[in-house]
Amino acid sequence: MESLLGQGGMSQVYLAEDLKLKGKKWAVKEILPMEQEGASFLEEAEMLARLHHPQLPQLVDYFTTEDGTGFLVMDYIQGPTLQDLFEEKRRELPTVQIVQIAFQLCDMLHYLHTFQPRPIIYRDLKPSNIMLNEESQVRLIDFGVARHFTQGKQTDTMQMGTIGFAAPEQFMGLQTDSRSDLYSLGAMLYYLLTGGQYAYVTHKTLEQLNPGLPEALTTTVQLLLQENPQHRCQSAMEVKMRLRSIYPDADQPMNIQKPANPLLLKDKLIVVGGLFAGVGSTFLAVTLARILNANQVPNALVEQPTIEPDLYMLLYGDLKAPEAYKFAATSLREQDYSLIPITSWENGLSTWFPVHPDGYHGDWQPADSFKLLHTIKKPIVIWDVSTQWEHPSVQELCHSADEIVVVLDASPGKCNRPSSRAHFERFDSYMQRGKKVHYVANGSMQNHFRKEWMASLPASPLCTIPELPRSEVVRAVWKGECIQDRPEVLQQLKIALSPLIKEILPGNRFDVNENLKTKPSLFSRFKKHG
């Protein structure tokens, strides 16, 4: 043992040199023998042994002595803790650096919270448990109070954490889950952005203490600090997507400077679905993709793997898909997603991700959606969920989405179905949490009935999909064309949907009066279908 690196109430961490491998350093955590601590030591060791993430501790060995003292041997990372850096900089770090650290923490928490077979809840996120290496890469240390999440369990056997950063449920004898870690993330961001103040002590909003911060940042922190877990951000990826809207390049290393480009788009996830089946959500999703393509905006359209396949057929996939095309959703579940060389199916600046025409056979998890998202290198991703708003993976996407678009029509009976009312309640909850939910009507109706219909909705439709001549739609289908690529049709759609497009694109990227110069495409077969 060379020196003491740190200590807590139940353990010490030492720097040790390997006697066989000269110059090799290890971090050795000594856990003192305490009543009933043996099981906790083994749980921490076994948990660390299963983790394989470049920014989490790598366990090399573990053992116990005769007196019950436990030792964990882990890789040693040289660098200060975030608390050390915070004090060194007189408790004032650049906001963009704090957000960059949060980005990395979101990735690590997402890894832990989606760990299989059971999620891992870290439970002690705080600056002193975060290390920074020379490249400003973040490392989480000390998994002493981390626990696997058990569905249906009402309480935790151990209520532990650090006052000032731990979630309320940790001190109330309630079960912790992934949202407990997100509360701690919010408490830590509050601490770092206010010069070291604790939210539970000041009872002031972040905006009150630091009024110069971006509103989206203060709003996100405020959401994370909600006492009721249901009112917080629901996933680490939702937090990351919110922060990315503030600093699009914050997930780049601090020492890498990207050239300034005022036309760079912020990454956006747009979830599109229908209030009920057959209302035209897929038609709208493809239309958005082709309008973005016409405006020189790279985009991707993903078909939710759990819905009934439609997109492959509509795009005339048997003839137009690339040779040896592999469906992304299927490939993701067959092997490590990071190793998949996904063959792109592209049309101009649009990339298609349809489901296999025979359907997806498997248990699609929320983590799978984010794995797929990470493989898509397009600034705007449109995700067609059809009517599966209640699916866990769709709910997770909605929590992370920048825009949620709901297609409906003027069918009073369908809009008043129990399932539709349940969807409206879900959309309202998203809006209460600061999400943008846009209603889009499919087809026009007489003014007298339109007023009555709109009065029955929770919010007025942002715009209306125009009715296209059925003969033209049928002709396009039989020619294997995408009707949205016909210049006169695309211009009509672009004008009608301009309020929605302006929500998606910055103002200087969208001009409704711009002449569209797109050639008709023979790559796909499309018909209006939800």
| Binding region for ATP | 29
CB neighbour class for 339 (10 Å; exposed up to 12, middle 13-18, buried from 19): exposed
Sequence ranges of the binding site: 29
Q: Are 434 and 239 in contact (CB under 8 A)?
A: no
Write the single-letter amino acid at 310: D
**Cα torsion angle, 408, 414, 418, 419, sign:** negative
Write the single-letter amino acid at 47: M
Q: Are 202 and 190 in contact (CB under 8 A)?
A: no
Residues 421-431 as b/e (b if ≥16 CB within 10 A, e otherwise) read: eebbeebeebe
Q: Are 178 and 229 in contact (CB under 8 A)?
A: no
Give whole-number Cα distances, 265 to 14, 58, 299, 381, in Å. 47, 37, 11, 12
Q: State the catalytic residues.
A: 124
Q: Are 351 and 395 in contact (CB under 8 A)?
A: no
Q: How many CB atoms lie within 10 A of CB 446?
A: 9
Q: For the chain, what is the largest distance between any 2 Cα atoms, rounded to a whole number of angstroms?
A: 87
Name 354's bridge partners: none
Q: Are 189 and 243 in contact (CB under 8 A)?
A: no
Q: How many CB atoms lie within 10 A of CB 399?
A: 20
Q: How many CB atoms lie within 10 A of CB 90?
A: 9
